[in-house]
Every structure is written in structure tokens, then in C-alpha cells.
């Protein structure tokens, strides 16, 4: 079992994989990325991730240097070569290596890398430990729908959260509107309805968020894709965050204030169970 990287067509051990220090991803954060969960040696919702990768690349005026079919094949090869059953694929595209300049270089060839690392299997629902969140100002730019490698505001907030003993910082804009987490989307049950910020430029439209919204609709759970503010968050019966690596993760307290429901609350628990079923249907059963 091995961490394997792929750099523009060549496989290497991850520890030996290198790109130029003049790569614009490294110097300028001029790139986009994806993180895809692997369950039972199969990538989960790969097509949706690749569609978002395409949209992110297009938004920063980059063309994918490889056809989507080739990327899909490479993902399978990486998983196979690694020998990992549970893990994630990281995928990054930058504007390539060139003399440092804010202007886009004429001659740079984009750099595309992918690698695979191992993760623990998804825990049983009863073993998921509800965690704390803290609220922090959202200091990011106005193109949060692009999954860019420019993550400094996210990192600073995540670090603060961790130092406060919280798993995630729940971010809010100046007017008090809650947007998302530093690396996750945020859902809250307010007045009996599930709410989450709509997929605008202020959030990354998470693939997990999309799966959870599908489940909410399949189960006819009352739902509003409508922003909520800090005051409303204070009244929430349940809160959870979603992401590729955290799945559906219940939050038990925000800014040290415990939520009203036992955690995970009834709706969150239902979604966690249904999410496990989606994993089973897509990656465990012999359906594909
Ligand atoms: N983060 N919002 C932000 C800012 C994110 O960085 C992420 C994902 C999400 C959830 O998206 P998805 O459900 O597609 O994973 C929302 C990844 C996992 C990361 O940066 O590691």
C-alpha cells in the first residue's frame, strides 16, 4: 500500500513527486483543486467532482489539459496502484511554471497533479462524535464558488477554530449572513425547516451538500435553500456541516452554547443514515 502521485502522465511515489518552485500554484495560488472520497476502492460522485473541476478551471480561464475520460481512468489507476480501499484523491490544476508575473504567461503549460492518500473507513453513526463549532467573520473574496487553492482566509479561520477546540469555523458576512464553514457547508434546522445558504458566489456548492439536499427532497423533509443569519443560528434546533471528508457531521455547540436537540438531532441522524445508504449504493454494491 502506497501514496501514489500522478504528475502530467507520470506515476511516482508521493514523497518523490515534485513540481517547479516557479509553478504559479506555489508562487501565486493560481490554481484550482478537487478532493474526492474513495470508499471500497471506488471514487464517490466522481462525475460531479469533475464537472465542478471543469467549472472552477473555466472560471479562472484555464482549459483542462486532459479529457475527462483520461482523468477518470487515471483516478482508477491511482486507486488500484495505491492498494487503498478507503482514501481520497486530491486533484490540482495550475497555470503552470513561468517567470513570476501577475499577468497570465503566454507560454506556460498548465500543471496537473493528482494523488491518493489513505483515510479511515466512514464511522458507524453511533461512533460519530458530535463536535463544537465557533462563528467567525467570513473574510474571503466574492468568488467562493470557485474551488481555488487560495485558501489563506479559510486556513486562518480553521486554525482559530481548532485552537478554540472546535472542529469548524462557521463563517458570516458583515451583515450577519451565515455562509459556510472553512472547508464544509453548513445546515441548520430553524423553526422545523432545514436551511442552508443558496449556491451563490458566497459559498462553494459542495458535492456533499448537493447529495444531502437530494436526500432531504427524497425524504420530503421541510427545506429552504435560503440564507440564515447569526440570530437565527442561535435559535437552531440542529446544526451539521457537510463535506467530502467529513460526510454529515453533527455540531453539538456553537460558541460554547449547546444546541437545543440531543445530538445528532432527529433530522441529522436521518440524513446520516441516508448518506450511508448512498455510499453503499454507489460504492459497496455491485451496481456499476
Ligand atoms: N473542502 N466549502 C468549502 C470552503 C470547502 O473547502 C469544501 C470542501 C466544502 C464542501 O465541499 P464538498 O462537499 O464538495 O467536499 C464547502 C474540501 C474537502 C477540502 O478543501 O479539503
pLDDT tens-digit readout, 76-105: 999 999 999 999 999 999 999 999 999 999
| Contact 247 CB / ligand 1 (< 6 Å) | no
Question: Cα(19) to centroid of ligand 1, in Å?
Answer: 24
Please, which pLDDT band fits residue 260 given cuts at 50, 70 and 90?
Answer: confident
Give CA–CA dist 97/107, Å, rounded.
9
Distance, CA of 122 to CA of 37 (rounded, Å): 10
Catalytic (active site) residue 147: yes
Which residue ranges does the chain devote to CATH 3.30.470.10?
4-118
Confidence of residue 207 (pLDDT cuts 50, 70, 90): very high
Return the closest-CA partner of residue 48 out of 200, 205, 196.
205
How remote is the CA of residue 242 from the centroid of ligand 1, in Å? Answer: 8
Cβ of 94 less than 6 Å from ligand 1: no
Q: What is the pTM of this model?
A: 0.97
What class does CATH assign to 125-283? alpha beta
Burial (CB count within 10 angstroms: exposed 0-12, middle 13-18, buried 19+), residue 15: exposed
pLDDT value at position 276? 98
Average pLDDT over residues 158-183: 98
Q: Tell me what percent of the residues of the chain surpass a pLDDT of 70.
A: 99
Task: Indicate the class that CATH gives domain 4-118.
Answer: alpha beta
Pairing of strands 185-190, 257-258: unpaired
Report the chain's mean pLDDT, rounded to a whole number. 97
In short, whether 169's Cβ falls inside 6 Å of ligand 1 is no
Q: Which segments of the chain belong to CATH 3.20.10.10? A: 125-283
What is the C-alpha separation between 58 and 56, in angstroms, rounded? 5
Q: Which helix (H) or strand (E) holds 180?
A: strand 178-181
Q: Is the pLDDT of residue 180 over 70?
A: yes
The residue whose CA is least distant from atom 17 of ligand 1 is 183
Report pLDDT for 288. Answer: 46
Find the 244 Cα to ligand 1 centroid distance in Å.
7
Amino acid at each position: 500500500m502506497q501514496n501514489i502521485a500522478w504528475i502530467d502522465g507520470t506515476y511516482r511515489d508521493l514523497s518523490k513527486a515534485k513540481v517547479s518552485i516557479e509553478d504559479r500554484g506555489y508562487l501565486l495560488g493560481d490554481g484550482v483543486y478537487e478532493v474526492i472520497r474513495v470508499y471500497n476502492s471506488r471514487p464517490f460522485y466522481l462525475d460531479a467532482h469533475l464537472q465542478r473541476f471543469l467549472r472552477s478551471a473555466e472560471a479562472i480561464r484555464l482549459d483542462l489539459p486532459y479529457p475527462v475520460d483520461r482523468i477518470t481512468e487515471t483516478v482508477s489507476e491511482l486507486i488500484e496502484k495505491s492498494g487503498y480501499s478507503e482514501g481520497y484523491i486530491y486533484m490540482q490544476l495550475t497555470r503552470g511554471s513561468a517567470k513570476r508575473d501577475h499577468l497570465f504567461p503566454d507560454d506556460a503549460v498548465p500543471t496537473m497533479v493528482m494523488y491518493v492518500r489513505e483515510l479511515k473507513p466512514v464511522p458507524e453513526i453511533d461512533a460519530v462524535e458530535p463536535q463544537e463549532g465557533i462563528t467567525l467573520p467570513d473574510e474571503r473574496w466574492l468568488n467562493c464558488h470557485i474551488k481555488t487553492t487560495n485558501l489563506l482566509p479559510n486556513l486562518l479561520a480553521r486554525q482559530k477554530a481548532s485552537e478554540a477546540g472546535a472542529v469548524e469555523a462557521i463563517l458570516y458576512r458583515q451583515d450577519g449572513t451565515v455562509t459556510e464553514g472553512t472547508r464544509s457547508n453548513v445546515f441548520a434546522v430553524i423553526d422545523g425547516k432545514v436551511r442552508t445558504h443558496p449556491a451563490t458566489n458566497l459559498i462553494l456548492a459542495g458535492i456533499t451538500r448537493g447529495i444531502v439536499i437530494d436526500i432531504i427532497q427524497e425524504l420530503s423533509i421541510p427545506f429552504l435553500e435560503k440564507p440564515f443569519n447569526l440570530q437565527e443560528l442561535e435559535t437552531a434546533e440542529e446544526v451539521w456541516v457537510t463535506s467530502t471528508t467529513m460526510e454529515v457531521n453533527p455540531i453539538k455547540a456553537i460558541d460554547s452554547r449547546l444546541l437545543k436537540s440531543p445530538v445528532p438531532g432527529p433530522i441529522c441522524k436521518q440524513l446520516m443514515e441516508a448518506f450511508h445508504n448512498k455510499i453503499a449504493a454507489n460504492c459497496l454494491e455491485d451496481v456499476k
